[in-house]
Amino acid sequence: MCYDVVIIGAGPAGLTAGIYARSKMMSTLILDSGRVGGQLVSLYPEKGIHNYPGFETIQARKLSDKLYAQAESMGCEIKENEKVETIDNGDQELLITTVKGQYHAKSVVVAIGMGSFKPKKMGCPGEDEFEGRGVAYLLPPKEEIIGKKVTMFGGGNSAIDMALVADSVTDTVIVHRRADFRADESTVKDLDASGIRKVMNANLVSINGTDRVESVTVSQDGQEIVIPTDLAVINIGISADLEDLKRWDLELTKEGLVKVGFDMSTNRPGIFACGDAVAYDGKVKQITTAMGEATTAVIMAHKFVKKPYWA
């Protein structure tokens, strides 16, 4: 079988591309190297999203579930744990090779976001030793943290949002290395109105314990402070790994992102790209912009494949 479109990545961009492709009745396969949902499930499943139109607030995991359900109900074929390795030119078609097999497609939409991303580490004593035993990079589900003392590290939207979620069920402290947060003003206002203890201008020195984390030591104004902690959540950013793109003969920026035209086309005929993986002047990395680009990418893929008389 030769699919009309193979979409690489099942984050918000890839799932939106799938929904639009099926509305054009294109045979559609979506491949993801991990789980459906992209950053929403892998990086911040418990966080509330406050800027997704149509929902005052929606938990990231729930938004992902809704997109997944819509893409499936419209007839997208979706395969998880299937990392794409190469995209080669075949006779009149593209050959997509994954860790599990090979697929034929008339067009491809690349929506791999930040690639195989990983949370950034603090690099302090105790961090690796206690990972999974009181050190986490994602906030566990609320039910699992009731009664635990949570210390959140970070100063962006995500760290504050997760701290607010934690604070709704347990005692929470937030530690930030600067005097001000870099999160949205409305998020900082919610933090100020909460009971969360803020420890500003403070750096993490060590994570301490015997079998599990018992406390963290931070330094502030030259003094060391010990904060009793059962769960240290480190939320200081993500390292992207976009090595896959280098193997796909796509023209990249010096930052390693895919160069796209205004129509989300790449340098390779029949291959379009969208979402966090692309770069153009004025690019913004948000869910809504990723979805808008996905819409354009797949409509252009449709024109490329079906060549409708009006295109």
Ligand X SMILES: Cc1cc2nc3c(=O)[nH]c(=O)nc-3n(C[C@H](O)[C@H](O)[C@H](O)COP(=O)(O)OP(=O)(O)OC[C@H]3O[C@@H](n4cnc5c(N)ncnc54)[C@H](O)[C@@H]3O)c2cc1C
CA 28 remoteness from chain centre: 22
The 3-state DSSP composition of the chain as helix, strand, coil percent (nearest 5) reads 25, 30, 45
Query: Between 155 and 275, whose beta carbon lies closer to ligand X?
Result: 275
Contact mark string toward ligand X, 188..217, x via CB under 6 A: ------------------------------
User: CA 86, CA 74: separation in Å to the nearest integer?
Assistant: 27
77 with 92: CB under 8 angstroms? no
Is residue 10 near ligand X by the rule CB under 6 A? yes
Of 82, 102, 85, 122, give the one whose Cα is nearest residue 3: 102
Q: How far is the CB of 105 from ligand X (least distance, A)?
A: 14
Note whether 225 binds ligand X by CB under 6 A.
no
Site string for ligand X, 226-265 (x = CB under 6 A): ------------x-----x---------------------
Interacting residue with ligand X among 44, 130, 153, 272 (CB under 6 A): 44
Bridge partners of 8, per DSSP, are 31, 110
Shortest spacing between CB 135 and ligand X, in angstroms? 17
268 C-beta neighbours (distance < 10 Å), count: 17
Question: How far apart, in whole angstroms, are the C-alpha atoms of residue 10 and residue 277?
Answer: 13
Q: Which residues pair with 226 in a beta bridge?
A: 217
4 binds ligand X (CB under 6 A): no
Q: How far is the CB of 209 from ligand X (least distance, A)?
A: 26
**Does 11 engage in binding with ligand X (CB under 6 A)?**
yes
User: Phi and psi at residue 97, in whole multiples of 5°?
Assistant: -105, 130
CA pair distance 307, 88, nearest whole angstrom: 22
Of 39, 187, 229, 266, the one binding ligand X (CB under 6 A) is: 39
Q: Does 139 bind ligand X (CB under 6 A)?
A: no
- Interface with ligand X by CB under 6 A: which residues? 8-14, 31-34, 38-40, 43-44, 49, 51, 83-84, 111-116, 158, 238, 244, 275-276, 285-288, 290
